[in-house]
Amino acid sequence: MAPAGRPGAKKGILERLESGEVVIGDGSFLISLEKRGYVKAGLWTPEAVIEHPDAVRQLHMEFLRAGSNVMQTFTFSASENNMSKWEDVNAACDLAREVAGKGDALVAGGICQTSIYKYHKEEARIKKLFRQQLEVFAWKNVDFLIAEYFEHVEEAVWAVEVLKESDRPVAVTMCIGPEGDMHDTTPRECAVRLVKAGASIVGVNCRFGPETSLKTMELMKEGLERAGLKAHLMVQPLGFHTPDCGKEGFVDLPEYPFGLESRVATRWDIQKYAREAYNLGVRYIGGCCGFEPYHIRAIAEELAPERGFLPPASEKHGSWGSGLDMHTKPWVRARARRDYWENLLPASGRPFCPSLSKPDI
């Protein structure tokens, strides 16, 4: 058997998707590590890969154990120049590779939109930035590439064009909702342009909750079908319920980023989401901000019948609450059944709070 972690030793992302497998993505790094004390909100930079590698490794491990088939390099950055330092990208790749080697996961190098595009739509300058990151990813031999969190389809197209220069598969996800991108390009049109630019996998990530993101995916799928194009579909939504957010998603909600607790999805909400994503034909299913390891496990458990196996972390989780049959209180034992959790409408315990907010803009 090939040594774990050697590129090529595992089935690649496209082989998996083309054979009909479900690929489970990973979850939230920035927000999870913010709560654990290693990321600063506002800047949202991944210096923890250098400063606290144990914390980052542990989170990777938890996602792997929960069933993730992809370890995304923790290289996202919302900082001003939007470019992680070379050392950071390097360290992030090593951590992702180390953990991926302990299970059935691939390493994906991730880039995201620049802070430049909004002010200067300079293709050459922006592509150069993407190319710099790509060089590290190529050197570290990642398994495939993800361009994610794009608000403007044009910049996402540039990213795809750069990533295609490597011979690795390219996935691209935009952080848009059903209303489309910041220039009012519809999700249908976005999907078409990205696939035409060379992406093999297309979808959305971040900014909107599971329900809303699936609406956007439906539109992307329609766009591709109408254009006669083929691509794999991918969805990595927030782990927060955001029925009330506007075009720019959850950053406009008054609760962002320090009051989102009551919006966190339950594991049952995520099972429902995983099932609906699957039924829609999406086969790369993961999460973004707010997705904790147990949310990823919920995807893996919901789709266990299709996939034929449970993730390691299910050792510590009875399907549909079945573990509760060992609880000391009989009325809690009575909750060890699917219909109980499937139909629960959880109370917020916050009677002085509303159920929806008005976005700031």
Annotated ligand binding at 245? The verdict is no
Annotated ligand binding at 288? The verdict is yes
Q: Is 309 in the site for a copy of itself (CB under 8 A)?
A: no
Q: Is 317 in the site for a copy of itself (CB under 8 A)?
A: yes
> If 0-12 CB within 10 Å is exposed, 13-18 middle and 19+ buried, where does residue 39 land?
buried
Angle between helices 267-280 and 210-226 (to 10 degrees): 10
Q: Is 312 in the site for a copy of itself (CB under 8 A)?
A: yes
Rounded Cα–Cα distance for residues 268 and 146 (Å): 28
Q: How many amino acids of this chain bind a copy of itself (CB under 8 A)?
A: 86
Restricted to residues 167-206, the positions that interact with a copy of itself (CB under 8 A) are none
Contact 243, 212 (CB under 8 A): yes
Annotated ligand binding at 190? The verdict is no
Shortest Å distance, C-beta 78 to a copy of itself:
6
Of residues 41, 81, 86, 338, which one binds a copy of itself by CB under 8 A?
Answer: 41
Restricted to residues 151-170, the positions that interact with a copy of itself (CB under 8 A) are none
Shortest Å distance, C-beta 259 to a copy of itself:
4
Which string of DSSP letters, residue by residue, matches 124-162? HHHHHHHHHHHHHHHHTT-SEEEEEEESSHHHHHHHHHH
Rg (CA), the chain: 20
Q: Which stretch binds a copy of itself (CB under 8 A): 29-37, 88-96, 154-162, 194-202?
A: 29-37
Rounded Cα–Cα distance for residues 317 and 301 (Å): 10
Q: Which stretch binds a copy of itself (CB under 8 A): 154-162, 166-174, 196-204, 238-246?
A: 238-246
If the CB atoms of residues 305 and 351 are measured against a copy of itself, the closer one turns out to be 351
Q: Is 324 in the site for a copy of itself (CB under 8 A)?
A: yes
Q: Determine the residue type at 85.
A: K
Question: Edge-to-edge, what's the strand order for the sheet holding 232-236?
Answer: 23-24, 284-285, 232-236, 201-205, 170-174, 144-150, 106-112, 70-72
Restricted to residues 246-265, the positions that interact with a copy of itself (CB under 8 A) are 248, 251-265
Shortest Å distance, C-beta 129 to a copy of itself:
16
